[in-house]
Amino acid sequence: MKSILCGQDSTSDGGAQTSSGRYHMVLGSPGSGKTTAIVSLIKILAKMKQRVLLVNFTNQAIDNVLIRLKDSGFNDFIRVTNNPSSVDELLRENVKTYSMFETMD
């Protein structure tokens, strides 16, 4: 697993520290730049035609990243949830429920 550490805890020069693997975990204290780093990484990976799965312990953190993406003009994402009403209104047009995937070919 790759870890990208944000803020003062990452490295002595404040940069990112990674190890080998296919997955990335962004770590850092509040206000350390995690959301900004994630948004930048998603946009770079999208330009490289890579798929990204973004997961977090809280729905609010996911919505914060997706709102930042949308504000930057990037709208090529799906927000998956069981409860569309829990998703920020700015993201509702991008919502798919789990049941929608059951009926996809």
Could you list the beta-strand ranges (E) of 1-105: 2-5, 24-27, 79-81, 95-97
**Model pLDDT, residue 55:** 87
**Model pLDDT, residue 82:** 86
- The phi and psi torsions of 48 (rounded to 5 degrees) equal -90, 10
**Model pLDDT, residue 104:** 56
Per-residue pLDDT of 77-91, as tens digits, reads: 999 988 888 899 999
Per-residue pLDDT of 14-69, as tens digits, reads: 344 444 456 778 888 889 999 999 999 999 999 999 888 898 888 899 999 999 99
For tokens 């997706």, name the residue: 66
